[in-house]
Chains A and B, each alone.
Chain A
Amino acid sequence: MNQPDRPTAHPRLDLLDPYEVARLGGLEVLTEDLVEGFLAGLHRSPRQGFSVEFAQHRMYQPGDDLRYVDWKLWGRKDRLYVKQFEEETNLRAMLVCDISRSMAWTGAPGEVLTKLDYVRRLLAALSLILVRQRDATGLLAFDDEVRAVVPPRARRTHWYQLLQVIAALEPGSGTAAEPALRRVVDQLRRRGLVVFVSDLLLDRALTLKALRFLRHRGHQVVVLHVMDPAEVTLAGTTEVRLEDPETRAGVVLRPRDWAAEYQRTVAQVVSDWSLSCNRHGIRYHRVTTDTPFGMVLREVIAPPRAA
């Protein structure tokens, strides 16, 4: 029996430090290596939502669920194929990416990627995984208005188009997520997957309202709350004026004095987002930019445990 090839000769990129990964090479190559590594470690297919109506076979890939391996075909052709069903091939996903000015920030330049750089790589990997699954994948980038829209397609070449747009994303100014999320409806006429990637430094009520709207339209919604490690833990001993790059609002304080209070506030914010999302069936993940991509992809791709 032929076992699928497992790329174990070199370190798995999906588990490396994101900054180190980014230093290794271009977005395209690295993303493919990263996805390969990720899929190799997954042991089963990330596919979800299989319908009962058979559509076609495809080559087994590491990580595919063994339940869907066509053993009869393996007996005839001595190759592993998995069965694909109609629903799967029709999955449409929209990656909604926040490119506001706050996303272009890192608390430790030269050590940690900016949130936007981190998101670029994460979205590239995620889109590649989806496209490989022949899921139609689109992209919508916004700051205070929608800056880029790539309609969802399932072709492999489509990923390169996505990659081109992702690589060209530049930080904008403010943040207005609600109109962007409503634009998603135009792109996903059938039920689909919406991955909303943002630092969530935006109008919470409006954003939640828009996310609920998507959920109401039957879309599966995943929220990736991207945070820089320095946004999680406030550090510094000298008095500084911390200034919001978008609004220019600022406070003067000695960070060390406010670390505990800030940490409580951040925990509360995360908790609020999590509760609000869960309450409406929205999957919420908090991601820090020093988290290896593989771990994040696993969270996003893997079906919810409760399900």
Chain B
Amino acid sequence: MFGFLHPWLLAGLAAAGVPLLLHLLARRQPPTVPFPAVRYLVDTTQEHRHRLRLQHWLLLVLRTLLIALLVLAAAGPIAPFAGGGHAPASLALVLDNSASSGTMVGGTPRLAALKSAARRVLDHASPDDHLWLITADGVPVRGDAVSLRGVVDSLPVVGQRLDLGAAVTAADQVISESGRPGSIVVLSDLQQSALSAARPRTPVVVARAGAAPPRNHGIAAIGLGLQPWSTDGGRVTVRLTGDSAAAMPVSVASQGSIRREAVPTAGGTAAVAVNGGTPGWHVVTTELEPDEFRLDDRRVAAVRVAPVARAQWDTADRYIAAAAAVLTANGRLARGSDVSLGTLGGGASVVMPPSDPALIGALNRRLAARGVTWRFGDLVERPEVADSGRLVGRVKVQRRLTLEPSTAGSRTGVLATVGGDPWIVRSGNVILIGSRLDPEWTGLPVSAGFVPFLDALLNRTARGDLDLLEGVPGAPVLLPDAVKEIREGDRQWPVEGGAAYRPPELGVYYLLSGADTIGALSVNLDPRESELAPADDDAVRHLWPGSRVVDQDRIAAAAFATTARSDLRGPLLWAALLAAFAEVALASFWRRNR
């Protein structure tokens, strides 16, 4: 299909009408002179007039052609004729250096072969080509062949996952915006899990994955249960993924202690008990025996170890007393004065509405004196259901006091809602619950989630929530509002709380707010990277209609074959030169021989 490098210049074709316009404007009726002997001229000039008209039209056509050819040449026409290299084109090279590209095949990482193919493609590029390189970060990088070759040479395997469909779409967009025809070249291990549908308008050439990938085991996820852990420790659940049928031993390490546990094959889960150790933040590391794909053989997570909450509660409240007894028996709660459960104490408190409505006013005044930004409001008596959230599920609420912010417009600290209204809120180390923990107020005390609710409320929420985040390299994670800095190993840098943060690599990142560590971000490989099975040609063509799949050693030729078009500027300029020469020669000749 014909195309133009600068199609907007085609507007200049209007100038091709100038000779015709001048011809029409220059047409004039010469003065009439009587001349009886006209008949002697009529026959003589008739043939000449025909010839002259032909000459005029021929010159007009030549001049129009000359302008049209110059304008067309300026627009940079390219034609689908092979041979003689390729016309200036746009090329987006998608080079997959995601984690799976680090898989060793034949003793070398798969990325090495992909980089070699990429270099061959770049070697075929001409200085006039527009080139982009899209790697696992998904960001198109513009450059010439030399600079992009340097980028390719230094490109490492990264822990990020590359969505090939998104990469192709991004490549299609940059090529479309470039305004010149081109192609997208995909160099990847073509994991099935990395392919997603795309509808590029630009031709796509895909390098076939080549040798079959090795069998692989990987750790898909680890779970640390409720945190913080007590010093007694906790249980780490490890889920495996991969395509190997063999069972693999997995090791779990925390504070230098290693405990191994045999686990089933891919898809199986193992739970490993780990000692809590000293209070503080620790990193739990799980590892498999190394295989050809190393990056998914290790997974880390941050764990917070802290003593259990020491709370005081009203033993007359039988539902709270029963749940506290269970927690105490399981080592999740101890008697003490750290947290007041039910009433407003001097420290951290979980406050319910008083049984006597007459005391609400006094309670609100005490809350205000503590600097609590919420207060109890009016009684609402109607059957409602709590909105499902992190702290509490959907439980019935028959009676509640509205919770109202003492400062208009300030509604921060809402932990649970009923019909959109705040039901459980926190202000500092004080938690207000809109309903008494009594079946006459809410179904929560008689629900199965009551004990875990109290555990979370006393050990986490009342003592300051821990923000335990998980992420993958390069993917955005929304940071809590209070986060001011991030620390990873010995490095520490400021961040904006409440904004998205893209962790650059694998590891544990601690979230800091001043001197306090308020959470952690565990960054691990996307478990889909462990699925090394490549997509077949049909799947590629199905997901990217119109794409070509070629062997990797033919990718360089195929890359520009789709844009292998002849640059017609040269021929057009030659044609324009010929037209100009013909015009001058014919006009001079005819003028001489008139």
Contact = CB atoms under 8 A, between A and B. Distances in A.
Interface of A: 101-102, 105, 199, 201, 227-228, 231, 236, 238-247, 249-253, 257-258, 261-262, 265-266, 269
A266 B41 contact: no
Contacts of A266: 37, 40
B33 A241 contact: yes
In the complex, the 4 A-B pairs of residues with the closest C-beta atoms, listed nearest first: A102-B36, A242-B35, A244-B38, A231-B37
A262 B44 contact: yes
A201 B36 contact: yes
B221 to A, nearest CB: 94
Given A251-B49, A257-B594, A262 B41 contact: yes
A238 B594 contact: no
Q: Which of A199, A244, A266 has the most CB of B within 10 A?
A: A244
Contact of B34 (A199, A243, A269): A243
Nearest to A175: B36
10 contacts: A231-B36, A241-B30, A243-B32, A244-B36, A245-B36, A249-B38, A251-B49, A261-B44, A265-B44, A266-B40
Nearest to B28: A239
B252 to A, nearest CB: 105
B106 interface: no
Q: Which of A199, A228, A238, A250 has the most CB of B within 10 A?
A: A250
A56 B43 CA distance: 56
A242 B33 CA distance: 5
Contacts of A239: 30
Contact of B45 (A201, A227, A253): A253
A105 B29 contact: no
Nearest to B33: A240
A201 B32 contact: no
B475 to A, nearest CB: 81
Nearest to A105: B36
Contact of B41 (A101, A227, A265): A265
Q: Which of B31, B33, B36, B594 has the most CB of A within 10 A?
A: B36
Given A241-B29, A249-B39, A257-B594, A105 B34 contact: yes
Contacts of B594: 257
A246 B36 contact: yes
Interface of B: 29-45, 49, 594
B34 A253 contact: no
Nearest to A265: B40
Q: Which secondary structure dominates where chain A touches chain B? A: mixed
A258 B33 contact: no
A265 B35 CA distance: 15
A185 B443 CA distance: 145
Given A240-B30, A240-B32, 8 more contacts: A105-B34, A242-B41, A243-B35, A250-B32, A251-B45, A257-B594, A262-B41, A262-B44
A266 B38 CA distance: 11
Contact of B38 (A101, A236, A250, A257): A250
Nearest to A239: B30
Contacts of A252: 30
A120 B42 CA distance: 30
A231 B39 CA distance: 11
A108 to B, nearest CB: 13
A225 to B, nearest CB: 12
A201 B30 contact: no
A155 B41 CA distance: 46
B30 A238 contact: yes
A250 B29 CA distance: 12
A153 to B, nearest CB: 33
Nearest to B43: A265
B80 to A, nearest CB: 49
Nearest to B38: A244
Contacts of A241: 29-33
A243 B41 contact: no
B36 A251 contact: no
A179 B491 CA distance: 125
A244 B36 CA distance: 5
Given A243-B35, A253-B45, A258-B45, A269 B40 contact: yes
A199 B35 CA distance: 12
A253 B36 contact: no
B39 A262 contact: no
Given A105-B34, A241-B30, A257-B594, A201 B41 contact: no
A142 to B, nearest CB: 16
Contacts of B41: 242, 251, 253, 258, 262, 265
Q: Which of B31, B33, B42 has the most CB of A within 10 A?
A: B33
Contacts of B45: 251, 253, 258
A259 B44 CA distance: 11
Contacts of A236: 33
Contact of A201 (B33, B37, B49): B37
B591 to A, nearest CB: 10
A257 B45 CA distance: 11
B30 A262 contact: no
Contacts of B34: 105, 242-245
A239 B34 CA distance: 14
Contacts of A265: 40-41, 43-44
Nearest to B41: A251
A249 B32 contact: no
A258 B44 contact: yes
B156 to A, nearest CB: 81
B180 to A, nearest CB: 50
Nearest to A254: B594
A246 B39 CA distance: 11
B42 A251 contact: yes
A201 B31 contact: no
A113 to B, nearest CB: 15
Contacts of B38: 242-244, 247, 249-251
Contacts of B40: 262, 265-266, 269
Nearest to A230: B35
Nearest to A257: B594
Contacts of B30: 238-241, 252
Nearest to A102: B36
Contacts of B33: 236, 240-243
A263 B513 CA distance: 111
B39 to A, nearest CB: 7
A250 B42 CA distance: 8
Nearest to B32: A241
B31 A240 contact: yes
A67 to B, nearest CB: 44
Contacts of A269: 40
A261 B46 CA distance: 13
A241 B31 CA distance: 6
Contacts of A102: 36
Contacts of A227: 37
A105 B37 CA distance: 10
A243 B34 CA distance: 5
Contacts of A228: 36
Contacts of A258: 41, 44-45
A201 B44 contact: no
B51 to A, nearest CB: 13
B330 to A, nearest CB: 116
A199 B28 CA distance: 32
A228 B30 CA distance: 23
A215 to B, nearest CB: 25
A155 B116 CA distance: 126
Contacts of A201: 36-37, 39
